[in-house]
């Protein structure tokens, strides 16, 4: 379990030549199976870092490796495929396609990833099972995504990120839109599943109090240098 | 799955999508009705007279001869003599002939003198015959048969007495010889509807006391005496001819046109009608042009709606991207949507068109004499639809490319 799942080396990025938002990341390594909390205020470059990791953005220089593959060298098509195969993403809010059913939302990544869909024998059943494990209402399969509460929607997002067992789960402040009581339940359920799947978790938050649940805490200001 | 979600997404925006579909289908329907009306008007027009091989009249242009002999618009330049007509009849090629005598009127409707054969020989809409709706054809010298339009507008029935006026706009009436309605014809949608039909002999009879367009002063022959007179015509205005063999039409036409004793013109009704349509048919192109512009406008409307929905669907795009969808998939999704909207619009417009045609067909036929064909789609319609779908795909590229740009730049950030 000592293998790095994420390895960032001397990455420099800026949006455009005129922009004064320039960041430099000297080094970031996350091992397989680690649960890491990335702390930082808004505007600190968290989302940019996640976008780089997911292959939405390309660094100007340096290398980003996921599972030993340098994703910054991949074509944009392969990057999309790579993301679909290896990364489960949970957004802050509005994770689901509001017009689609809960199960369709959960099954969505399988449509884009052969690897993940081949790993499941009965996707429909797996999705329902995940709903059970995440304590979603029993008849949730009949619901449209927008009829769920925000907390329930976030749990569906977890199920979607986990289906097909991708090696890395990236969560961008998944609890920020739910109240604190529901937060604890949500985190309990999410961790339970992530441990069961032995996935690696990189979660971004500005809430230090969550740190006890994680293996490691990284302050974003320690890894990102802002350049002008 | 992609298709299913695309449909779900459209369904979730039922109101805006529904309004777009409605707008597009109405414009498509407008286009198709114009197109239908255009082709139907053309067929109805060119079918005003059929199975008549030649029309003969005094020397005139073919359009003019057509206008006065069939449409009863304008005047004949001259008459042809009964002798010339007999000469034509004696030709071997002739199968049948129906003489027509025009010049008088009744309350603005043309009076046409002819023989009873007119009712069996005059055909329209590809061989349909004139039927009598009420009463009977001429029995007495002073019997008239009315076209359906005349009877309806003047509220005449069988046995209604009527007086024929001399000429078309004159104030002198043939009031010494009153007529009586003997029969009313069924609606045909041709100029026959607006014609008052009498026998050739009747035309002669009312002109017994007339000479060169004016009544001879003091002369008034009693009806009883007129009835005993020889009323065979001296002149006729035109004649409809049928030949035994179609191969002889052109020979006969040439013979008539070169007839040495009198200047006559023989025309082929079909060709003359086509020539006439070229004059009347300019409006149809204008209508067609307008409906094409309407379709184009609605397409732009659809694009505008897609553009405005893009900003609210930006987060949806981000979700797709996070799941591994490529920017091209996003473009495909939007184009799929446009295709779906246009397909739905086409189906709806066909339903609307079918319903409205069925409802309006009898009304259009009754009021305008145009029989609108309700038939399956023509190849041309299918082409137009294919072109429309292609155009909507093309125009949806604009919002799709914008979505492409969004999805490349948004990344993990979800802009709302």
Select the more confidently predicted residue: A140 or B253. Answer: B253
Least confident of A34-43, A133-142, B45-54, B365-374: B365-374
Distance from CA of B339 to the nearest CA of A (A): 19
How far apart CA A225 and CA A27 sit, in angstroms, is 11
State whether B91 and B221 are in the same domain.
Answer: yes
**Which H or E element spans position A90?**
strand A87-90
Largest CA distance in chain B: 109
State whether B249 and B334 are in the same domain.
Answer: no
B269 touches chain A (CB under 8 A): no
Residue B230 located in a structural domain: yes
Would you say B266 and B52 are in contact if contact means Cβ atoms under 8 Å apart?
no
pTM (two decimals): 0.72
Average pLDDT over residues B144-161: 92
Q: Tell me what pLDDT residue B255 has.
A: 94
State whether B127 and B251 are in the same domain.
Answer: yes
Distance from CA of A224 to the nearest CA of B (A): 18
Would you say B52 and B122 are in contact if contact means Cβ atoms under 8 Å apart?
yes
Does residue B184 carry a pLDDT above 90?
A: yes
Domain's final residue, options B241, B267, B293: B267
Does residue A16 carry a pLDDT above 80?
A: no
List the Cα angle A221/A222/A227 in 5-degree steps: 60
Would you say A206 and A173 are in contact if contact means Cβ atoms under 8 Å apart?
yes
pLDDT digits (tens, 9 = 90+) for B76-103: 888 999 999 999 999 999 999 999 999 8
A4 forms beta bridges with A31
Rg (chain B; Cα; Å): 32
Domain's final residue, options B217, B236, B267: B267
Does residue B274 carry a pLDDT above 80?
A: yes
Residue B276 located in a structural domain: no
Mean of all residue pLDDT scores within chain A = 85
Mean of all residue pLDDT scores within chain B = 86
> Using 50, 70 and 90 to split pLDDT, how confident is the model at B170?
low
How far apart CA A11 and CA A199 sit, in angstroms, is 25
Closest by Cβ to B324, choosing from A91, A100, A109: A109
Residue B274 located in a structural domain: no
Residue B58 located in a structural domain: yes
How far apart CA A94 and CA A156 sit, in angstroms, is 11
State whether B39 and B60 are in the same domain.
Answer: no
pLDDT digits (tens, 9 = 90+) for B30-85: 888 888 888 888 887 888 888 899 999 999 888 899 989 998 888 888 899 999 99
Domain's final residue, options B212, B245, B267: B267
Average pLDDT over residues A136-149: 83
Q: What share of chain A is helix, strand, coil (3-state, %, to 5)?
A: 40, 25, 30
How far apart CA B199 and CA A206 sit, in angstroms, is 105
Would you say B370 and B37 are in contact if contact means Cβ atoms under 8 Å apart?
yes
Q: Tell me what pLDDT residue B88 has.
A: 93
Q: Tell me what pLDDT residue B416 has.
A: 46
Q: Tell me what pLDDT residue A18 has.
A: 64
Residue B11 located in a structural domain: yes
State whether B34 and B155 are in the same domain.
Answer: no
B197 touches chain A (CB under 8 A): no
Residue among A131, A179, A121, A171 nearest A155 (CA): A131
State whether B140 and B222 are in the same domain.
Answer: yes
To test the contact with chain A by mutation, choose from B324, B333, B406, B410 the residue with the greatest count of A C-beta atoms within 10 A, namely B324
Q: Taking CB atoms and an 8 Å limit, are A95 and B319 in contact across chains?
A: yes
Does residue B199 carry a pLDDT above 50?
A: yes
> Using 50, 70 and 90 to split pLDDT, how confident is the model at B415?
low
State whether B322 and B188 are in the same domain.
Answer: no
Would you say A208 and A38 are in contact if contact means Cβ atoms under 8 Å apart?
no
Number of domains making up chain B: 2
State whether B85 and B180 are in the same domain.
Answer: yes
Q: Tell me what pLDDT residue B413 has.
A: 67
Residue B416 located in a structural domain: no
Would you say B114 and B200 are in contact if contact means Cβ atoms under 8 Å apart?
yes
Closest by Cβ to A84, choosing from B316, B318, B324: B324
List the Cα angle B133/B134/B138 in 5-degree steps: 105
Would you say A48 and A23 are in contact if contact means Cβ atoms under 8 Å apart?
yes
E-strand ranges in B253-377 read: 264-267
How far apart CA A28 and CA A13 sit, in angstroms, is 15
How far apart CA B167 and CA B214 sit, in angstroms, is 10
pLDDT digits (tens, 9 = 90+) for B349-369: 999 988 988 888 888 877 776
- Grouping H, G, I as helix, E, B as strand and the rest as coil, residue A41 is coil
Average pLDDT over residues B134-163: 91
Handedness of CA B122, B124, B128, B132 (dihedral sign): negative
Torsion of CA A69, A71, A74, A79, to 10 degrees: 110
Q: Tell me what pLDDT residue B182 has.
A: 92
B8 touches chain A (CB under 8 A): yes
State whether B323 and B250 are in the same domain.
Answer: no
> Using 50, 70 and 90 to split pLDDT, how confident is the model at B267?
very high
State whether B152 and B70 are in the same domain.
Answer: yes
Q: Determine the residue of chain B that is closest to A88 in CA distance.
A: B323
Structural domain harbouring B109 = 54-267
A227 forms beta bridges with A22
What b/e readout covers B84-113, taking b as 16+ CB neighbours within 10 angstroms? bbebbeeeebbeebbbbbbbbbbeebbbbb
**Chain B partners of A104 at a C-beta cutoff of 8 Å?**
1, 4-5, 8
Residue B129 CB burial class (10 angstroms; 0-12, 13-18, ≥19)? middle
Does residue B318 carry a pLDDT above 70?
A: yes
First-last CA distance in chain B: 26
Distance from CA of A127 to the nearest CA of B (A): 15
Looking at mean pLDDT, say which of A7-11, A32-36, A219-223 comes out highest: A32-36
State whether B229 and B305 are in the same domain.
Answer: no
**Chain A partners of B1 at a C-beta cutoff of 8 Å?**
104, 107, 111
How far apart CA B404 and CA B331 sit, in angstroms, is 6
Does residue B294 carry a pLDDT above 90?
A: no
State whether B229 and B317 are in the same domain.
Answer: no
Q: Taking CB atoms and an 8 Å limit, are A96 and B319 in contact across chains?
A: yes
**Check: complex ipTM more than 0.90:** no
Percent of chain B with pLDDT over 70: 97
Looking at mean pLDDT, say which of A52-61, B215-224, B258-267, B274-283 comes out highest: B258-267
Residue B228 located in a structural domain: yes
How far apart CA A109 and CA A124 sit, in angstroms, is 13
Q: Determine the residue of chain B that is closest to A79 in CA distance.
A: B324
pLDDT digits (tens, 9 = 90+) for A65-104: 888 888 888 888 888 888 899 999 888 877 788 888 888 8
pLDDT digits (tens, 9 = 90+) for A150-196: 888 888 898 999 898 898 999 888 888 778 777 888 888 888 888 88
Q: Taking CB atoms and an 8 Å limit, are A94 and B414 in contact across chains?
A: yes
Percent of chain B with pLDDT over 90: 32
Residue B347 located in a structural domain: yes
**Chain B partners of A14 at a C-beta cutoff of 8 Å?**
none
How far apart CA A126 and CA B79 sit, in angstroms, is 95
């Amino acid at each position: 379990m000592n293998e790095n799942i994420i390895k960032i080396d001397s990455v420099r990025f800026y949006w455009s030549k005129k922009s004064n938002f320039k960041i430099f990341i000297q080094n970031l390594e996350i091992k397989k199976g680690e649960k890491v909390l990335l702390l930082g205020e808004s505007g600190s470059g968290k989302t940019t870092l996640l976008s780089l990791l997911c292959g939405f953005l390309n660094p100007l220089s340096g290398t980003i490796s996921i599972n030993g593959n340098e994703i910054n060298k991949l074509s944009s098509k392969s990057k999309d495929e790579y993301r679909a195969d290896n990364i489960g993403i949970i957004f802050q809010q509005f994770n689901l396609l509001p017009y689609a059913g809960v199960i369709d939302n959960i099954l969505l990544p399988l449509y884009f990833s052969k690897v993940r869909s081949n790993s499941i024998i009965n996707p429909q059943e797996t999705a329902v099972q995940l709903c059970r494990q995440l304590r979603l209402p029993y008849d949730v399969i009949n619901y449209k995504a927008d009829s769920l509460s925000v907390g329930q929607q976030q749990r569906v997002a977890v199920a979607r990120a986990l289906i097909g067992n991708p090696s890395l789960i990236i969560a961008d402040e998944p609890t920020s839109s739910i109240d604190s009581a529901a937060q604890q339940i949500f985190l309990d359920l999410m961790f339970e599943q992530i441990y069961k799947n032995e996935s690696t978790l990189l979660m971004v938050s500005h809430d230090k109090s969550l740190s006890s649940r994680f293996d490691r805490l990284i302050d974003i200001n320690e890894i990102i240098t802002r350049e002008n | 799955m992609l298709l299913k979600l695309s449909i779900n997404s459209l369904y979730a925006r039922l109101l805006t999508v529904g309004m777009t579909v409605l707008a597009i289908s109405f414009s498509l329907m407008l286009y198709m009705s114009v197109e239908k009306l255009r082709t139907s008007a053309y067929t109805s027009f060119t079918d005003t007279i059929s199975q008549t091989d030649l029309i003969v009249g005094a020397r005139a242009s073919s359009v003019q001869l057509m206008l006065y002999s069939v449409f009863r618009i304008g005047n004949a330049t001259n008459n042809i003599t009964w002798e010339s007509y007999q000469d034509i009849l004696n030709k071997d090629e002739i199968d049948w002939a129906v003489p027509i005598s025009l010049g008088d009127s009744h309350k603005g409707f043309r009076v046409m003198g002819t023989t009873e054969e007119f009712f069996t020989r005059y055909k329209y809409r590809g061989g349909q015959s004139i039927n009598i709706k009420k009463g009977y054809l001429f029995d007495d010298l002073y019997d008239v048969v009315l076209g359906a339009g005349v009877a309806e507008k003047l509220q005449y029935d069988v046995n209604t007495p009527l007086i024929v006026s001399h000429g078309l706009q004159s104030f002198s009436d043939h009031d010494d010889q009153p007529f009586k309605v003997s029969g009313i014809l069924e609606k045909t949608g041709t100029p026959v509807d607006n014609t008052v039909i009498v026998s050739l002999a009747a035309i002669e009879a009312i002109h017994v006391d007339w000479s060169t367009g004016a009544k001879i002063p003091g002369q008034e022959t009693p009806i009883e005496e007129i009835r005993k007179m020889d009323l065979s015509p001296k002149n006729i205005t035109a004649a409809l001819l049928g030949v035994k063999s179609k191969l002889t039409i052109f020979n006969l036409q040439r013979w008539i046109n070169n007839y040495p004793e009198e200047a006559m013109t023989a025309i082929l009704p079909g060709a003359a009608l086509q020539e006439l349509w070229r004059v009347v048919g300019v409006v149809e192109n204008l209508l067609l042009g307008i409906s094409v512009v309407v379709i184009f406008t609605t397409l732009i409307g659809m694009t505008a709606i897609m553009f405005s929905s893009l900003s609210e669907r930006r987060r949806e795009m981000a979700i797709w991207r996070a799941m591994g969808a490529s920017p091209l998939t996003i473009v495909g999704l939007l184009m799929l949507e446009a295709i779906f909207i246009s397909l739905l619009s086409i189906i709806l417009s066909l339903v609307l068109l079918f319903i409205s045609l069925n409802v309006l067909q009898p009304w259009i036929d009754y009021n305008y004499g145009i029989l609108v064909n309700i038939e399956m789609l023509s190849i041309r319609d299918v082409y137009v639809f294919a072109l429309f779908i292609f155009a909507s795909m093309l125009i949806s590229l604009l919002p799709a490319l914008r979505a492409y740009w969004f999805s490349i730049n948004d990344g993990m950030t979800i802009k709302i």
